[in-house]
């Protein structure tokens, strides 16, 4: 029983949100990752949350993956989606310039409005198997990702199961790094010496603000 309890507590919860235009393969990627099967036809307006337990570098993650419905504007992104997510996967089709343009808008919006600047984001080009129909080069997509300080990956939901797994695993790794930093900071803030220094600093800041207001009112 004790071993089971330790095992359960070792599982980390992580919420991942996928954004992307119609037909880029968000649902196909998610279902491929969870079931290993490729299904190419889905309702583009449907929004769903999938649960999946995975093992990444010896650590178990309890993933909640939100597959958002058809979106074309950043105004379609909901505030609660940004707050809920521990990581984002921004998806576009390497065969569709329009989906790439939309994905860039989503990428900029997410990076600017996520609750924590450390929240991981991966820019993902899907359908890399369709070489003859490709319209976006790896160099161009990588440049966009680099300009937003995030990782760029390419895969094919239909032909590259390992690549799909790699994308989700990379998000889990980045989530783990961010969570470790948060836990370290939390422990540091709980130390009495640090708390006292912060209290003194806040008191000095409040005193300075009151002094400034007093001088301003007399003028």
Mean pLDDT by 10 residues, the chain (219 residues): 46 91 92 91 79 94 91 85 96 97 96 93 97 97 98 97 97 93 66 60 66 58
Q: Is 52 left (phi over 0), alpha (psi -120 to 50) or beta?
A: beta
Residues 103, 201 within the same domain: no
Residues 86, 174 within the same domain: yes
Residues 152, 210 within the same domain: no
How many domains does the chain fold into?
A: 2
> pLDDT value at position 7?
46
> pLDDT value at position 9?
43
Q: Are 16 and 145 in contact (CB under 8 A)?
A: no
> pLDDT value at position 115?
85
Helix %, strand %, coil % for the chain, to 5?
A: 50, 20, 30
Q: What pTM was estimated for this model as a whole? A: 0.79
Residues 61, 85 within the same domain: yes
65's tokens: 């993956």
Residues 116, 207 within the same domain: no
List, as one string, the DSSP characters of 77-118. Answer: S-HHHHHH-SEEEEEEETT-HHHHHHHHHHHHHHHHH-SSTT
How many Å apart are CA 73 and CA 77, to the nearest integer?
8
Beta bridge partners of 63: 14, 52
How many Å apart are CA 25 and CA 42, to the nearest integer?
9
> pLDDT value at position 4?
45
Residues 205, 150 within the same domain: no
Q: Are 59 and 10 in contact (CB under 8 A)?
A: yes
How many Å apart are CA 218 and CA 210, to the nearest integer?
12
User: In which domain, by residue range, is 203 found?
Assistant: 190-218
Radius of gyration of the chain (CA): 22
How many Å apart are CA 172 and CA 60, to the nearest integer?
10
DSSP structural state of residue 133: G
For residue 87, give the CATH number of its domain: 3.40.50.300
């Amino acid at each position: 029983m004790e071993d089971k309890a330790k095992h359960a507590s070792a599982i980390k919860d992580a919420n991942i949100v996928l954004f992307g235009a119609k037909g880029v393969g968000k649902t196909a990627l998610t279902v491929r990752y969870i079931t290993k099967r490729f299904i190419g036809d889905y309702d583009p307006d449907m929004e769903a949350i999938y649960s999946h337990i995975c093992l990444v570098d010896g650590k178990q993650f309890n993933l909640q993956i939100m597959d958002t419905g058809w979106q074309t504007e950043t105004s379609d992104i909901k505030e609660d989606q940004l707050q809920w997510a521990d990581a984002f996967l921004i998806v576009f089709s390497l065969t569709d310039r329009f989906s790439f343009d939309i994905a860039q808008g989503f990428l900029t919006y997410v990076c600017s409005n996520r609750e924590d600047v450390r929240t991981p984001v991966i820019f993902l080009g899907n359908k890399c198997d369709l070489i003859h129909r490709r319209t976006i080069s790896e160099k161009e997509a990588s440049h966009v990702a680099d300009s937003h300080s995030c990782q760029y990956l390419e895969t094919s939901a239909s032909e590259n199961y390992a690549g799909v797994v790699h994308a989700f695993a990379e998000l889990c790794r980045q989530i783990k790094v961010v969570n470790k930093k948060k836990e370290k900071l939390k422990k540091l803030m709980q130390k009495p010496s640090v708390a006292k220094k912060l209290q003194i600093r806040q008191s000095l800041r409040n005193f300075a603000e009151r002094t400034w207001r007093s001088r301003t009112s007399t003028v």
